[in-house]
Homo-oligomer: A and B are copies of this chain.
Amino acid sequence: MERKEIVESWFRKLQSSIIEALETEDGNARFGTEIWERPGGGGGVTRLLTDGNAIEKGGVNFSAVFGATPEPVKANFKTEADEFFASGVSIVIHPKNPFVPIIHMNVRYFELSDGNAWFGGGIDLTPAYVFEEDALFFHGSLKVVCDRFDSSWYQRFKENADRYFTIKHRKETRGIGGIFYDHLSAKQDSDFERLWAFTQAVGSAFAPAYTNLMAKRKQMPWGENEKQWQLHRRSRYVEFNLVYDAGTKFGLETNGRTESILMSLPPLARWESNYAPEPDSPEALSQAFFDKSADWF
């Protein structure tokens, strides 16, 4: 099988298995299905959900697109290659309970007709309330995945994520990070094999890690105060995604599918001027984790 077929077919299955895991853990959520075609070649499956038991809004998207390399892609990749192929799975889950974190994952493969190819991806967590044990569990799950491939990767990709998920104008992070890798060359077959195995391991780590956090936190009682803090933190999520996120910007500028791109935005978000949590409150203790990224190991 060609690389493209291998990748596309596995990503398709990854989407289904993650949805199954999320629906099971939620108990009520059923993801809708929207199949779309890209006029230039390829298409995707957008699966969106609103108002589950635990998930307030979520999207798990698969796409595999190909054809003549669009000009903005040529500019972005500094290439003249005529044909491209890109496939990936993107996820954003906005939970209802303020104690369950938002999660984001993206894994992708990109190939050009001149033989160049790359992998990229990552998973990161955005809790409104930071539980250190959850952060350790989450980062630990990612470290285990990375360590199976290269003992330097976790630290390197963790620092990438800390740098990337920064809301510069707020001088704060979006959440507690995770791992992020981009533009890793898969031109050589040996590199492809290794990075593809790694990307599969990242994709496979998503469902067990997140359903564990859902299960642990989704029953915790919360009130108006916790909801308001969640809505406040969600506004920072919106600011990051609309102002800085490279994928969002690229998608919007290149006339991507707006609803698929902006499925990442939260169901409800709140902006209050000069908002600051009470000193020593749980909110302030969580905010401290956003003011400076932590080392977990």
Contacts and interface: CB of A to CB of B under 8 A. Distances in A.
A227 B262 CA distance: 22
A130 B197 CA distance: 54
A156 interface: no
**Interface band, chain A:** 20 to 34
A273 B57 contact: yes
A243 B235 contact: no
Determine how many copies of this chain the complex contains. 2
A212 to B, nearest CB: 26
A270 interface: yes
A259 B273 contact: yes
B50 A252 contact: no
A258 B48 contact: no
Nearest to A268: B270
A263 B235 CA distance: 13
Interface of A: 34, 48, 50, 57, 59, 168-170, 231, 235, 238-239, 242-243, 252, 255-256, 258-259, 261-263, 265-274
7 contacts: A34-B274, A50-B273, A169-B252, A169-B258, A235-B265, A238-B269, A269-B271
